[in-house]
Structure 1
Amino acid sequence: EDLVGQQLANYRTQRLRVNLSPDERIQYDADYAIYINFVRERQLPRRHGAGWLMELMRLSTFEPQARRAFLARQRLLRQLASCEGKFTLLDELLREYVTERILIFTEQNTMAYAVAARYLIPAITHETAVAERKNILEHFQTGRYRAVVTSRALNEGIDVPEAKVAIVLGGTSGAREYIQRLGRVLRKVENREAMLFEVIARKTIEEGRAQRRRRKREVD
């Protein structure tokens, strides 16, 4: 509620869960076991607090078991980013909101480019040149592009009031990124309500992270 005011629109958020396919689940569970067993065995969160992931990365540069765990984590993150269930749900949302301008957020550049290629929409990443980014946003504002996909490049510093729908493909971002993404579609335009959909994979680290973020927001 503290995000709504004279300049900000009313909004709704909705968390949508998708299932991994049987093959995706088998691979996810295998990689998760490798990763989490090492983290627990070394008690990384307890010993290093918020910096435990940096410690895992450091260990992975010279310790084979740590590298195996780190690579397993990277694989499962890539799998969660591109699981087929998210594309299926994205298909449905794009059809449902066909008259709206939509921002799609991904966690990784590879997923942003995959979405762009699949739906023939422009992508903005940290690799996008300034002039190209400006051109894409101008066309989005005029309605020539009805959707744009981005991987964190629009988290800060840019307001896109023409967008009234945001779709976040993945639940691993922190509370700060979540609020930044919501803010991209919250600028008040004709008292229209903004919508943010968070699409996460069921029974994965995405679901756990989303639940922890929600509890933190409730406490705050």
Structure 2
Amino acid sequence: MTASALAAKVSQRVLGEDPHGGVFAVALAVVVAGGLVEGAALGGLQARGLRRRLPRLNAWAWFGVTAAVAGVGWALASVPGVLAPDDGGPEPPLLLVLVGALALGAVMGALLGAAQAMVLRGVVRRPSRWILGNTLAWPPTMAVIFLGATTPESTWSTPAVVALGAVTGLVAGTVLGVVTGRYLPGGLSAPADEAPATVTRR
């Protein structure tokens, strides 16, 4: 989130007062790069944590899928707000922003969970639980992210925006970890090929 916040601020500087085609392309590349850093961090840290419980997990596949889906998804979701011209008009109501964040979180959570569940096939018994966990976890996480992203004014300094991005990331990551963590014991703790081979008869 710190990288995404910095990318948003840098893209605003790049756009300047007279944006045109080439400048838009550079600003878009900066936003996408920030999103990919966020997705890569999420994928790498999740893979590191899950490998402790699931030694057979393909960490590189998990990293790649997460970086692509989460990173590109977040970058694309950020593009309209970052690249839209500031015409001085009224900002959308906070309630509308949060409702949009919840909806986006549900969609992105389901997509990311489904992509990650493909990596979990053959490693856990019920990979579909991970889809449900992400679908439930990402709406409140996105609400925190959008709340943090819409707080800074254009006059905020870069260090202030980056600091807020770091705090927002810590809070959002905690929410994501707490909710998805509830789906670890039942769905991710038992490898699929470690079911009992015999049935005890009474």
TM-score, reference length from structure 2? 0.32
Select the structure that is richer in helix.
Answer: 2
Larger-Rg structure: 2
Select the structure that is richer in strand.
Answer: 1
TM-score, reference length from structure 1? 0.30
